[in-house]
A and B are shown apart, each in its own frame.
Chain A
Amino acid sequence: MGDKNKKYFGVLVGIIKGGYKMFKVFKLLFLTLLILTILIGGSLLGFANENEPVKVVACFPQTGSCATWGVLAVEGVRLAVEQINAAGGLLGRTLELVVLDNQGKAAVSVAAMKKAVGLKPYVVFGTNMSGSTIINMEILEKAGIPQFSGSTSPNITQQGNKNIFMACLNAENLANKSKDWIVDVVAARKLAVIYVSDEYGKAMRDNLISSLSGTETQVIEELATDVGQTDYTGELVRIDNSGADTIYIIQRCDEIARILKQAGKLGLTEKARIIGTETLIGPDTCRLAGECAEGAAAISDLTYKDPSMWPMAVAYKMRFGEFPAHDPIKQYLSVMIVASATEAIGSFDQQGIKDFLHNRTLCAKDYRWLPVDVHYDENGILDRESYELMVKNGDQVVNSVLSPVHPENFEGCSE
């Protein structure tokens, strides 16, 4: 045997010897790998079975800073699913709700949606944050699973995705609807806007500003605030100083209460008219801000005070302890839209309900599950009437009803 061969042989022996000695370590590592595989495989397999009930997935933040509205959104879906099941199910089959938490983080929402696809659900409700939705809607589109998002960002429906449907009016349509009201009814001439600097706030603000350009309402002050901000003294004093006659508040639920209370502290609620988006006049705002919310008004596309929504509101209150805010109502509505479409076509056909809903007006009188009239265009944009809502005596009150963006679509509904 040559020297070289000896060397190679020596190395081989070394490896084998070393391998034998390290066999125990290898055993440990192998065991760990095995356990990990079992865990992952197990959780995968656990969801791979085909069951009798029809699965629907709700993907909303259950933890993290957005949990406040995320938990409410799930409650809306849950109420709808429970009501349908109590009445014998959809087309005779029970609905099974699977809740996936996305922690309010986009990366986690991708994991959740991909997991959802593995569950083979009928439809997916979520996500409501536009950032997450844009990332994850492609996943659902590829799988052909219809998606209902409660986001208000217009650019979601501009991506050419035929798989997604909005659960409420988007920011652009809302802003256009509000414009006339702000200029003529509220007669705001010097408007101060205070908005939260996340995608919801910025979308609303952008659309508000562009809809008001060229009108008599002048935006004299624009202030961005942070999510979860606690102290608004600086912003409010600045607004006070600017001499605004109206303040437009675009915030998520709790920040509104804080702003209103602090504005009340400064006496701002007496000096200026307070208007805003639908979070302004929600039941939780009334609860938290007390009399500081008095007189606040907003244009919203959903309210529990609509007589047609009232049964749902009462049921929600009995089930969850308080009247529903915008988030649970819109999720409830999207479940009911799915139920109506499914019953209309008579089977759980995913492509079928998508085709059914595009360019269709659904009148409440024609569908037993549907509380109010809605219309979808070919991009999944929702249209319906909206309301001028105001807080009077600590309660949300409907001042007037505004027509949908395209009222001609709804003519068949009022017979």
Chain B
Amino acid sequence: MLFQLIIGGTASGILYSLIAMGFSLLWQTSQTINFAQGDFVAASAFIMLISYSMFHFPYLLSLILTLIVAAFILGFIFKKLIVQRILEKGLMSIICATIAMSLLIQNSIIFYSPESQNFPSLIREGTISIFNANLSFLDIFNIFFAIIIIVILQLFLQKTKIGKALKAVAQNRETANILGIDVPKMIMLAFIINAVLSVFAAILVSPIYAAKYNMGSALGLRAFYAAIIGGFNQMRGALLGGLLIGYIEVLTTGYITAEYSEAVILLIVIAVILLKPEGIWGTKEIWSKEL
């Protein structure tokens, strides 16, 4: 049973990591806490559905279209119209604006359909049996695909010039500015990367969970927990956090209690906050800006 749970935890955990990494990127570069992060995933899923199911475009074309539309709306427009204007006003305004955005996205999707929708899967259904555990092809595929995306992202950040510039902005905006990096451009890049990550998370998550207007709420919350536990200000923190949340979730339910499993996660989150606020793999934050 343990092996089964670990695999299950990894499969869901790595998806939380994807979402948490985008979340963390936004925070690091622009101190934006995006309460609508999960809803970005939902929005991406439905953009995909509109082009695939409604217009009947082939999968690859739909994916490319979704990436473009998401990058534009969830990345560009989000940053320019909303975040940019209220960034100076402080964290609270951003939190409130993203809460309102979450409402907006959910209610727009309800307008399209309040029911769950089937989502196309890249992999056929089926399971294989290893060590007495049933592993579905979908889970295995998701794990590999997510790892590939994470690796690509890390390579981008470490090896390419733009990536390194982005990383610099993420670590310290003032220094990056002094070094001559175009900070606003990098921040915009961060938002676009976040949108892209949301799309990939959407195509991996939706085949399992079905696409529904409120799928984002639970996912976004998990990503938030993940970022906090793992470390808000390091990408590796988000990765670790997501996996940890996945494991805690399945192990608590499997061995202890199903009813209070959410509460256990929360207690651990709270404990981490009180004992090591920067997260397990995070670094201490220097507060240059008040609320």
A/B: CB atoms within 8 Å of each other = yes
What is the distance, in angstroms, from B157's C-beta to the closest C-beta of chain A? 29
Q: Which of B138, B218, B246, B254 has the most CB of A within 10 A?
A: B254
Q: Which of A62, A231, A258 has the most CB of B within 10 A?
A: A231
Taking a contact as CB atoms under 8 Å apart, the answer to whether B134 and A238 are in contact is no
- Which one of A65, A237, A253 lies within 8 Å of B8 (CB-CB)? A237
A237 touching B209 in the complex, CB below 8 Å, given contacts A68-B116, A257-B116: no
Interface segment out of the listed B90-98, B107-115, B269-277:
B107-115
Taking a contact as CB atoms under 8 Å apart, the answer to whether A234 and B258 are in contact is yes
From residue 62 to 106 of chain B, which have CB atoms closer than 8 A to chain A? none
Cβ of B217 within 8 Å of any chain A Cβ, yes or no, is yes
Residues of A within 8 A of B116 (CB): 68, 253-254, 257, 284, 288
Interface segment out of the listed A138-146, A165-173, A211-219, A221-229:
A221-229
Taking a contact as CB atoms under 8 Å apart, the answer to whether B258 and A231 are in contact is no
Cβ of A32 within 8 Å of any chain B Cβ, yes or no, is no
Taking a contact as CB atoms under 8 Å apart, the answer to whether A230 and B218 are in contact is yes
Taking a contact as CB atoms under 8 Å apart, the answer to whether B210 and A257 are in contact is yes
What is the distance, in angstroms, from B101's C-beta to the closest C-beta of chain A? 15
A254 touching B212 in the complex, CB below 8 Å, given contacts A68-B115, A288-B118: yes
Residues of A within 8 A of B1 (CB): 237-238, 240-241
A237 touching B210 in the complex, CB below 8 Å, given contacts A257-B116, A265-B139: no
Cβ of A207 within 8 Å of any chain B Cβ, yes or no, is no
Cβ of A151 within 8 Å of any chain B Cβ, yes or no, is no
From residue 217 to 272 of chain A, which have CB atoms closer than 8 A to chain B? 223-226, 228-231, 233-235, 237-238, 240-241, 253-254, 257-258, 261-262, 264-267
Taking a contact as CB atoms under 8 Å apart, the answer to whether A265 and B136 are in contact is yes
- Which one of B110, B115, B134 lies within 8 Å of A267 (CB-CB)? B134
**Tally of contacts, chain A with chain B, CB under 8 A:** 115
Residues of A within 8 A of B225 (CB): none
Considering only CB atoms and an 8 Å cut-off, how many residues of chain B contact the other chain? 43
Which residue in chain A gives the minimum CB-CB distance to B1? A241
- Which one of B107, B209, B217 lies within 8 Å of A258 (CB-CB)? B209
Cβ of A209 within 8 Å of any chain B Cβ, yes or no, is no
Taking a contact as CB atoms under 8 Å apart, the answer to whether B5 and A237 are in contact is yes
- Which one of A63, A71, A264, A266 lies within 8 Å of B107 (CB-CB)? A63
- Which one of A65, A234, A261 lies within 8 Å of B253 (CB-CB)? A234
Which residue in chain B gives the minimum CB-CB distance to A261? B208
Cβ of B127 within 8 Å of any chain A Cβ, yes or no, is yes
What is the distance, in angstroms, from A262's C-beta to the closest C-beta of chain B? 7
Please, how many angstroms separate the alpha-carbon atoms of A254 and B114 in the complex?
11
Which residue in chain A gives the minimum CB-CB distance to B248? A234
Taking a contact as CB atoms under 8 Å apart, the answer to whether A224 and B258 are in contact is yes
Residues of A within 8 A of B12 (CB): 230-231, 233
Residues of B within 8 A of A65 (CB): 214, 217
From residue 144 to 203 of chain A, which have CB atoms closer than 8 A to chain B? 197
From residue 234 to 275 of chain B, which have CB atoms closer than 8 A to chain A? 246, 249-255, 258-259, 261-262
Q: What is the interface of chain B, defined by CB distance below 8 A to chain A?
A: 1, 4-5, 8-9, 11-12, 107, 110, 114-116, 118, 125, 127, 129, 134, 136, 138-139, 205, 208-210, 212-215, 217-219, 246, 249-255, 258-259, 261-262
**Given pairs A62-B110, A233-B9, A267-B127, 14 additional interface contacts (CB within 8 A):** A65-B217, A67-B114, A68-B115, A68-B116, A72-B114, A224-B258, A231-B8, A233-B11, A234-B258, A240-B1, A253-B115, A253-B116, A254-B212, A266-B136
Contacts A/B (CB < 8 Å), 13 sampled: A63-B110, A67-B213, A68-B212, A229-B218, A231-B250, A233-B5, A233-B249, A234-B258, A235-B258, A237-B254, A265-B208, A284-B116, A291-B125
